[in-house]
Structure 1
């Protein structure tokens, strides 16, 4: 492509505020996403256990955590709608340039996944005493599948920003156009990131179940159902963490291939290194100019192994990549320097954010794993000592930690991509709406902050109230094996 696509200059203040607004609304929306995905999957499993065994404790857990799911789901829908409007309002140049591609998976999410989700969640909510147990259970599973499918399409859209595929540049119209939807849907980054995100959601949902169960067990309430709930939550955390670890390895390999600068920033790797020199940083202090390190504590060979699965693999460094990108995207041979060359010429993301978010992501998940393992050990049936009060408190208050791990993981993914909004195609500063003044963005950011803050308080209080109320009680004819006969009309407990 020989001709340059026109780019309108934007107000730097408006750019900063637009980035802050989108980051804030995205992270706020993601407060609800992992719990929605993970909790509905676990609820479907618990309801399956009830249908198969008839044991009342599984029905009680289904009702309790199903109610928490619905509260969270409603808030997630409300906050998610706002994001899509921002693409056309604050990021019109981005929408104009790649909307043909980016919009396709978003449309699929809305027309297929969300439609499926909205349909069967209605059957699940209102069908307790109107359809058979089998049909009702199927609606629970279809709702869970739809939430997971919705996540896949969103991750596909995001993965195009991380690793653009399935497009061609139309120089005449000045935009990227879709030419291979299959390549977009099977983007290697999406294939790796999707199971990683689902695993993180299961981990967080398990931590919430642990917290609720610990609250009641500490007070010796609903002991039978809450002991089971605690075990389900703990094993969900363990399974989720194992999946996060394994899928994170695959995502790391994809990241090294598609965004080597992000990996270099995550490890404060200033210069290209091989073998023992490609070491994993436990702690690093760099110079103020961000070009070299002052002190570091490292594990030899580990970064090489994580990045290439070999102990003699090469990991590219920040300084070498900066020189390479400057020549590629700002030099005379750049296909479209107006879109691909940052105004300051810098391709290195904010190091301290990328470096520490990568470590907090791993550390918070590991702490949740520790809580789950200790919880299983302290509450085992052969235990001879009572669970200490401090352990219950830790279990109750540790629930937000995997959520924070999910959030800083997204901070790492998005901040580590900077200065790109679409890697190699378009910088963030060239994507902002050129005619939206800073005061307009600032005002809407202020309003969003106030409204979202109020919604957060409402969300927390509703979930807290539902969690503290505990599982519903049923008038049942108990059998010796723990099963019970329940009047179908008793199942229709108001959500």
Structure 2
């Protein structure tokens, strides 16, 4: 992921400047302006992002600022080399995703997933040590509250995936063995044949369908759970 979509992972760590031995950010705050100047890291694990990316605690990880400059130059040069008429100004394009959304969706995805797994391990421990989990009212209430955690982890995972890849529909392939020149910006991927009415029809239709399924699920849970 650090090779294929480096801007996504830099944003996921709130990593604005290129660093050797980049730390893993556990908690950071910002002013939500999507400006690196507003990012402040409060709790970090030194070198851990570099280790996750490369297996080396001292490896260099490119930050958002360097990647912005890299993609600006890359797109400009590609258009010149391929004789493509520029339809936008790369210098005015932000080549990294929304920092706050990417950073927090990544952590909420992991947090809800780990929380769900931890509850399962706790249930296994109680079952082995105590022989039953039914005699623990607190655990029952916690388990009911945790029903939503896998769904929340999945939802935030998709938010991270789709928001984190912006502004690309197809990110440029950094591998020299890949197909050169295959990339597509979201702004250029807007369909010219799909009308707003079609989009509204699809959204309303799917919302109603899943709403009905949610009601059925809730009534079945209430009756049989």
* Structure 2 residue corresponding to 1:410, chosen from 146, 155, 158: 158
Find the residue that maps to 1:434 and give its secondary structure.
coil
Question: 1:378: how far off?
Answer: 2.1
Question: 1:386: how far off?
Answer: 7.2
Q: Which has the higher contact order (CA 8 A, sep 6+)?
A: 1
Map of 1:453 onto structure 2:
211
1:442 partnered with 2:186: no
Map of 1:239 onto structure 2:
none
Q: Could you state the TM-score of these two structures normalised by the residue count of structure 1?
A: 0.39
Contact residue 127 and residue 133 of structure 2 kept, 8 A:
no
> For the aligned residues, what is the CA RMSD?
2.8
Change (3 A) 1:449 1:344: farther
**Distance of 2:85 and 2:54 partners within structure 1:** 31
1:428 partnered with 2:173: no
**Distance of 1:342 and 1:454 partners within structure 2:** 45
Find the residue that maps to 1:347 and give its secondary structure.
coil
Question: 1:326: how far off?
Answer: 0.6
1:382-437 CA distances to partner (integer Å, 9 max, x unpaired)? 55997321111212331220221122112211211111111121111211212433
Change (3 A) 1:385 1:456: closer
Change (3 A) 1:270 1:443: same
1:306 partnered with 2:52: yes
- Which structure carries more helix by proportion? 1
Contact residue 109 and residue 156 of structure 2 kept, 8 A:
yes
1:348 partnered with 2:96: yes
Change (3 A) 1:386 1:286: closer
Report runs of 4+ in structure 1 exceeding 6 Å deviation: 339-343
Find the residue that maps to 1:380 and give its secondary structure.
helix
**Distance of 1:337 and 1:394 partners within structure 2:** 59
- Specify every segment of 5 or more residues in structure 1 that has no aligned partner in the other structure, as ranges: 1-254, 469-495
Change (3 A) 1:314 1:466: farther
**Distance of 1:429 and 1:381 partners within structure 2:** 57
Map of 2:29 onto structure 1:
285
Contact residue 304 and residue 311 of structure 1 kept, 8 A:
yes
Map of 2:176 onto structure 1:
none
Find the residue that maps to 1:271 and give its secondary structure.
coil
Change (3 A) 1:322 1:366: same
Please give the residue correspondences for 1:318-357 in structure 2 after superposition, counting only pairs within 5 Å: 318-331=64-77, 333=80, 335=82, 336=84, 344-357=92-105
1:108-151 CA distances to partner (integer Å, 9 max, x unpaired)? xxxxxxxxxxxxxxxxxxxxxxxxxxxxxxxxxxxxxxxxxxxx
* Structure 2 residue corresponding to 1:371, chosen from 102, 119, 128: 119
* Structure 1 residue corresponding to 2:40, chosen from 291, 295, 298: 295
Map of 1:101 onto structure 2:
none
1:257-299 CA distances to partner (integer Å, 9 max, x unpaired)? 1111111010010011002xx1111122235251324421222
Change (3 A) 1:459 1:381: same
**Distance of 1:264 and 1:283 partners within structure 2:** 15
Q: Could you state the TM-score of these two structures normalised by the residue count of structure 2?
A: 0.81
Contact residue 330 and residue 340 of structure 1 kept, 8 A:
no
Which protein has the larger Cα radius of gyration, Structure 1 or Structure 2? 1
Change (3 A) 1:458 1:419: same
Give the stretch that moved more between structures: 425-434 or 376-385. 376-385
Change (3 A) 1:344 1:449: farther
- Specify every segment of 5 or more residues in structure 2 that has no aligned partner in the other structure, as ranges: 173-182
1:439-462 CA distances to partner (integer Å, 9 max, x unpaired)? 442344234323332233224434
Contact residue 14 and residue 39 of structure 2 kept, 8 A:
no
1:419 partnered with 2:167: yes
Question: 1:327: how far off?
Answer: 0.8
Find the residue that maps to 1:257 and give its secondary structure.
coil
1:84-117 CA distances to partner (integer Å, 9 max, x unpaired)? xxxxxxxxxxxxxxxxxxxxxxxxxxxxxxxxxx
Please give the residue correspondences for 1:121-136 in structure 2 after superposition, counting only pairs within 5 Å: none
